[in-house]
Structures are given as structure tokens and as C-alpha cells.
Structure 1
């Protein structure tokens, strides 16, 4: 199985270059950048996270295209974007940006796309209506421009070279629901969802493969983006979460119906769809602090996996058995521990995980 690693994509470029060099030393297969306008944490709570000593502002996110262009020429690793939307940029502009960055990156570039999330759109004045319609239109245009150089209709074209040794950038789509799975199979080269239980993941990938077959396209690469908090063991991570309960608020990126299963009310309300709807900065930080204390770790583990490399690899094995070929590791260990403890934990666990994954 191939392993991709998310770079921090927060200030500064130098920090991301340091992370890139670490990824190279580990022997990962590719590196990825995030596209967030704001972070996952209410700024009023950030001082309670151990990572605040190293990163003063949780919203200090860099432009992912710029980070990839700045660093991609200095490594043979492929860069990917996990993921942007078709609200802030339409398909033709995304295609041109992806072709440009693909040229800048020695190892090439993957354009990751999703339907978007409220926190990167609504506070900045973007229209967040019918985002899947916009994504479908963008994918149609991008696929046509990458494959032929021309828009599906009309005179629009891109004259950038598509015939070099790297070819054109691949397009990967973040999808879970039926319409998005259909679009993934019809237009994409890769599938990049957040985790579902293995049996659901298998059914979703089957839907992607069937859509690709109907479109006369190869089955997209099956990937996944699990959030991971490493530790000496799962139990040791649970101990840390008891000491720093605000870390458990990452669970608010799960929909309210998942919270209901654990008897806890979602901070975004009973109809919140999680990551799609949530804007943490608009919630009451005092209420969030109290909610964090009531979140069971099992709810958090619906989104984030805890433990050492062997325990994480064991979580991945059932997915490999149903088709998973690649993961993009969303390592959030650095928000959970003080910087020196993060360095110790990752220094021991990441090399072991690389070894285990390449054997899967």
C-alpha cells in the first residue's frame, strides 16, 4: 500500500519544507497540502492546545497551490491537494492552476476536489448554494481541458503542454454520498474519502468502480484520508485526551447523527452534517469547552485513529482487503502534544508505519 503524508500547510514555507524533508527521509510515496481558509479550532480555545506554543494562530493557513509550487521543484515526491472546491475557482481556472503546478513540481501534481465546506466559504462571502452542481460542472470542464485542451463546447481552450513526461495532473475526488461517488467514477483518477467502516468503504468503492465502467474509464485509485494521533499505544493517547479534552472536539467534523449514537448533542445542532456545515468560529467557545469533556473517545475514533504504528496498521488491514491502495495520513499528533513530545512520538512511530504499510 502506498502512503501519502499531509504537510502542515500553515505558516511558514520554511516549516513545510522541513516537513517535506522529513517525509523524504521516511520514504513516503507522496506529500499533500491542505486547503483551509481557517483551522479546525475556535481561536479562543487554541491556547489550551499544546501546539499553541509553536503555532500562535490556528488560522495561519497558506495557499496550497503556492506551497506546492514553492516546494515541488525541490523534490521527486509527487504533490497532491487534499482538497479544494469548485466554488472559489471554476473548472477552467482549476485546470490551468493544476497544469501550472504540475509543471512546477518535479514529481507531478494531483488536483484533489470536493464539494466544499462552509468554514472556507460562508465567512468570506462565497455563495455556498448547490455546491455539488458546481463541482459536477467543474469536473466536466477539467476533464475535457486535461484530456483534449479544449472546453466541452465553445472556443475556450488551454494551450499549456499536456504531452510531457509527467503528462497531465491526476484528478482525485473526495466523495461518500451516491451522487459524489458517481461523479468520482465518471471523471476522476482517484477517490479520496474520509474513513467509513470497512464494509461501507467497500460498498462505496464498488459504486465508484461501476460508475467508471459505465463511463468507459479505468477504476480510480482507492485512497482514504484518516486523521491519526500517534502515541506509544492507544491507551497512552487516551490518557493524553483525558488531560487535554479540547483535542476531542475534532469529532464535530462528524455529522450529528453519529453523535446521536453516543448520546451526545452535536455543537452545530441536530441537523449539522459535520465538516460540510460546521464553522467552529461561530460557536460559543465556553460551550465547546464543556462539550469536549462529555465526548466519548469512541465517538472521536469514528474520525481519528489513535495508537502506535502497529495499531494503526491493524486498523488499515481490513481496508486493504476490500481495495484500499493508498492513504493520505492526516497526522494531528502535533496538536495533541507539546512540540518536543510530538518529535519523540513521531520519530518512533512514523518509520515503523511506513515499513508496515509498504508490506500491506
Structure 2
């Protein structure tokens, strides 16, 4: 069973990589940009992580800037990698949850298997083959520390051990911010249904998304959790323009500059569409029909700079958001 359509939320991803491709003022404008996103009617603001493989702004610092200039929107990571010591991560997320007044969502993932990502983990002193187990222990430790509300916590795991660790401040949200999983592997889908609060894949098609959602819900029910225990989200890239041809030009330019990969290759791993607002709304509507209730939209722009992003942000809000609200 899925939530009702009236629960639909629509968020956008901050352009973190644009801040490192050249030295510019964008990082100093993060607060203003977040304020604009809220004013334009979006429901959430997201930031991703990749310090080395595809270098960008630190997501927790970017969201801290966003938290100080907004009041309504949720703030989420899309996604954090298991690169930090668990206590350090638990403390950072608790602090950001307090700064934001309980608006934080912690999206996590174990990282895609690629030479660049493997090198990234190695630079942090973490064997790539251990990333899934380390992520699992990190989540267990974070939740234990948050639930303890300043009381001592001990933990004995394969990779991490704690003895009488007492963490403050307490997160604003009881038990800590919700934890969302990004991946769609069979084991991860089962794990998501069992313990996570949300699922946020980069599904390439609405059909793939629905298949994964049903697996998550089956695992959730088998674990004795309520039907609404897992929020159904999806991370997609959309370019709104006056024609498919113009939008496709933007997508080719963006993904070539961002990943150094062609668009056809990117579409084998991520849901990506460009077209008119009506065409994009129809496509997103298929994900909504498949059960998605929180759309996390990356907005590709023809140039990796702040002005291009602002233009995409405003055009999407003006042309696409009303159509999506109509679907809901």
C-alpha cells in the first residue's frame, strides 16, 4: 500500500559540483539560493557527496547554510557515503537537525562500484569491499546514540567499537533524522524495508521503480512494520525547455561536463528526461503512479554555473510545479 497522492513532495538538488569547476562566488550564495528555492514553492533541498571522485561542496556544510535562511523546506543528503567515523557522523547530523529545527533527512548509500569511487574510499583509509558492512554498523551506532539522548552507549561490531560514549546535542527529531537508502540491489531493497525510513533510488524507468517499491514493501511487512514505515522517494534528473531537442542539448552538455560520460551511458544508471513541461510532467506522473511520494529533482543546466542553475530552478518552478501539483 502507498501513501495518498496528496502527500506528494517535490525537492531540488543544490548544484554542488558547480562550485568546484571554477573559483566563483557560488558558495557564498548558498543561503540566498536556498531561500529562493523555498520562495519558489519547492518542498525540499538536497545536496550530494563526493569529495574526490566527482568533487563538490560538502553536503552537510551546504545544508547548514540552507538551514539558516529557510523555515519550511526539508533538508536532505542525496547521498552521504560511509566515509566518516560513526560518532562523528552522528554528531554532525544531530547538530544539523537542531540547526534546522528538525527538518533533516539523512539519505545514505554505499557508493557505486567504479574505479574513481574505489579510489575515493581508499583515500579515506576504507577498503571498498567493507563499505556495506561499515554503513550498516554506522547506521546502528547513529541510531543508538540518538535514542540514548545523552546517556552512555556501548557497541561491539566488526568494524567499530564504542564504550560508554555519550553524545550531545540531542537531535531535534525524536530518535534522530529519518534515514533513507538510495540503492536498488536485492539485498539493499530487503534491508531498506526492514530498517530504513525511506527509499530514494535513481530508477531508470517507472516500471523498475514500481518493482523495487513492491520489494521494499514486502520486506517491510515481513518485518512487522506498518505500511507507511518507508517513504517512497525517487531521485531523477529533468530538463524543462521549449522542445525535446533543446532539452536534450542541455542534458548532453551537462552530463558531459559533470561526469565526462555520454548521455546514453548515464541513462543506463539514472532516470533522466528532457522536454517540455508537459512531457516531463507526464513522465514524472508515471513515477507518481508507481508509488513515488517525494520527487528529488536534479536540474541540469547547459553550463555549470550559478546563473544557469537559477534559470533552470525558476523555469521548473513556473512551468513544471503547477502540473505536478495538479497530478497530486
CA distance in 2, matches of 1:299, 1:83: 19
Structure 1 CA distance, aligned partners of 2:94 and 2:267?
Answer: 40
Q: Which residue of 2 aligns with 1:82?
A: 78
Bigger strand share: 2
Structure-1 residue corresponding to 2:282: 314
Q: Name the SS of the counterpart of 1:222 in structure 2.
A: strand
Q: Is structure 2 residue 119 aligned with structure 1 residue 122?
A: yes
Which of 2, 18, 25 is the matching residue for 2:9? 2
Stretches of structure 1 that go unaligned for 5 or more consecutive residues are 41-58, 253-279, 281-287
Instruction: Assess if the C-alpha contact under 8 Å between 2:155 and 2:163 holds in 1.
Output: no
Contact (CA 8 Å) 2:47, 2:77: kept in 1 or not? Answer: yes
Partner SS for 2:303: helix
Change over 3 Å in CA distance of 1:151–1:27 after alignment to 2: farther
> Secondary structure of 1:333's match?
coil
Q: Deviations over 1:123-176 (max 9, x none)?
A: 462321232222222222223333345355564444435474676211111110
Q: Is 1:357 matched with 2:319?
A: no
1:21 aligns with 2:35: yes
- Cα distance in 2 between the residues matched to 1:114 and 1:165: 21
> Root-mean-square deviation (CA), in Å?
3.1
1:217 and 1:21, CA in 2 relative to 1: closer, same or farther beyond 3 A?
same
Distance in 1 between the 2:256 and 2:306 partners? Answer: 20
Q: For residue 50 of structure 2, what is the aligned residue in structure 1?
A: 36
Does the aligned pair in 1 maintain the 2:79–2:182 contact within 8 Å? yes
Work out the CA distance in 2 between the residues paired with 1:166 and 1:73.
21
The equivalent residue for 1:224 is 234
Matches of 1:248 and 1:92, distance apart in 2: 35
Distance 1:140 1:297, change over 3 A: closer
Distance 1:301 1:125 in 2: 25
Distance across 2 between alignment mates of 1:179 and 1:298: 23
- Quick check: 2:146–2:171 contact (8 Å CA) kept in 1? no
TM-score calculated relative to the size of structure 1: 0.72
Q: What residue number does 2:178 align with?
A: 170
1:68 matched to 2:35: no
1:140 equivalent in structure 2: 140
Alpha-carbon displacement from aligned partner over 1:324-349 (angstroms, at most 9, x marks no partner): 1001111112537x876665554333
Match of residue 348 from structure 1: 315
Give 2:105's aligned residue: 110
Q: Normalized against structure 2, the TM-score is what? A: 0.78
Equivalent-residue separation in structure 1 for 2:266 and 2:59 (angstroms):
32
Cα gap change, 1:98 to 1:312, in 2 (>3 Å): same
> Is the 1:230–1:346 contact (alpha carbons within 8 Å) kept by the matching residues of 2?
no
Cα offset, 1:65, TM superposition: 1.3
